[in-house]
Amino acid sequence: MLAEIITIGDEILIGQIVDTNSAWMAGQLNDIGIRIKQISSISDDREHILTAISEAAGRVDIILITGGLGPTKDDITKKTLAEYFNVKLVENKEALDNVLNIFSRYNRPMLEVNKLQAQVPENCEVILNKNGTAPGMWFNVKGKIYISMPGVPHEMMYMMEDGVIPKLKSSLKLPIIIHKTILTIGEGESYLAERIADIEDSLPSFIKLAYLPKLGQVRLRLSAYGEDEALLRNKVNEFSTKIVERIGNVVAAEEDITIEKVILNYMAENNLTLSVAESCTGGYISHLITQHAGSSKVFFGGAISYSYELKESILGVKKETLAKFGAVSEETATEMVKGALHNFKSDYALAVTGIAGPDGGTVDKPVGTVWIAVASANKTVVKKLTFGNKRRQNIERSAVSALNMLNTLLHNSGK
């Protein structure tokens, strides 16, 4: 079963917003055995929309459309769909009641333009929007399924989870798909591929291995497709075990989670706490940690200490250390992490100091030079890393490297 995703909006094409909808939808569809054939972003143009839908219908069984359902004049998706199917727009009572309830809830007067949002093509089945005024629409025409949803991410996501995915699963005979993800840290995909080449070559035809690289980490995803769930699960687990045994030194998790979530889970289970001292990462590590629900059970917080003065006053870095060795040094990183550990009274701490770039480097300390320290009460590990001259990449690489070092220390230190 093949699907195509079409996102509509000039704001996507000019880079004003990033199309996160497609990636999220593709993941949801893949999980239920629907494969994505193509993803397209198109403008708010009638001819463009008509052409895109027509071409998609010639390629796939399911067409999912997001965007262009708002109350303003540039939102033309609904009218264009009515034209595509050669039907009229009619007022839908459920959709109108939903709009009325939303405006009543917030005690705001409803404009005529908002009432018009309850009008839909007469051949569609309405998918109620529990988080907004624009209804979703489901069309089943000549064996093809067309689904139109709002472009606002949280509205689309709830609509997909509550309405679209259950309806697709009940309406279609879908294959069983089993995924198994292995998170690796610190080794590039080409090296990983070389190490497990014979295992990959021995995979049966119904199992595929994908390499999903990101700065400093690679996810290996085994995907099995078929009808016999028990067989698929057993085979995926068999090959996953072989891969982990082969590359165990770089495996951080045997599930599809991030490195910071691996750390949070482990520390929460073992009643351990964490603080940070960030300089060149500017709070990015704290952001990665606190985006996860329940992080407060583990994470105390920390300091973003760019200046010498804050390194001294908050973390207790000695003035002489900074004068003699500079902020980007083994000595400063060591005092930063020990200061965080002592002052914030956590079980573990990490510290990062470096030159993110694109300027600020010297002959001895070029852009991309980063010192990372991780510590517990009993052990401190300090490491120098040298990255490139891209600021954003240096920040992300520093964060992943620091978290990987912390994860290693956690497992080497015991509970």
pTM over 0.85: no
Whether residues 228 and 375 fall in one domain: no
Whether residues 141 and 84 fall in one domain: yes
- Residue 221: give the domain boundaries: 179-253
Burial class (CB in 10 A: 0-12, 13-18, 19+), 392: exposed
Q: What is the mean pLDDT of the chain?
A: 93
Whether residues 310 and 381 fall in one domain: yes
The DSSP annotation for 233-289 comes to HHHHHHHHHHHHHHHGGGEEESSS--HHHHHHHHHHHTT--EEEEESTTTTHHHHHH
| CATH code, 226 | 3.30.70.2860
> What does the block give as tokens for 235?
């085979």
Whether residues 320 and 276 fall in one domain: yes
Domain count, the chain: 3
| CATH code, 370 | 3.90.950.20
Task: Look at residue 31 in the predicted model and tell me its pLDDT.
Answer: 85
Whether residues 282 and 244 fall in one domain: no
Q: What is the pLDDT of residues 208-250, one digit of tens each?
A: 999 999 888 999 999 998 889 999 999 999 999 999 999 999 9
Whether residues 266 and 347 fall in one domain: yes
> What does the block give as tokens for 85?
């199917």
Whether residues 148 and 118 fall in one domain: yes
Q: What is the pLDDT of residues 83-128, one digit of tens each?
A: 999 999 999 999 888 888 888 777 777 777 778 888 999 999 999 9
Boundary residue ending a domain (253, 288, 316): 253
Whether residues 184 and 287 fall in one domain: no
Q: What is the pLDDT of residues 141-177, one digit of tens each?
A: 999 999 999 999 999 999 999 999 999 999 998 888 8
Task: Look at residue 415 in the predicted model and tell me its pLDDT.
Answer: 44
Q: What is the pLDDT of residues 333-378, one digit of tens each?
A: 999 999 999 999 999 999 999 999 999 989 999 999 999 999 999 9
For residue 77, pLDDT beyond 60 = yes
Boundary residue ending a domain (253, 282, 304): 253
Q: Give the span between the Cα atoms of 141 and 15, in whole angstroms.
A: 34
Whether residues 197 and 167 fall in one domain: no
Q: What is the mean pLDDT of residues 29-38?
A: 91
Whether residues 62 and 162 fall in one domain: yes
Task: Look at residue 209 in the predicted model and tell me its pLDDT.
Answer: 97
Task: Look at residue 274 in the predicted model and tell me its pLDDT.
Answer: 98
Residue with tokens 């920040």: 395
For residue 388, pLDDT beyond 60 = yes
Task: Look at residue 1 in the predicted model and tell me its pLDDT.
Answer: 84
First to last CA, the chain: 48
Residue 158 dihedral angles phi and psi, to the nearest 5°: -65, -40
Whether residues 15 and 148 fall in one domain: yes
Boundary residue ending a domain (171, 196, 224): 171
| CATH code, 48 | 3.40.980.10
Task: Look at residue 109 in the predicted model and tell me its pLDDT.
Answer: 76
Whether residues 19 and 44 fall in one domain: yes
Task: Look at residue 131 in the predicted model and tell me its pLDDT.
Answer: 86
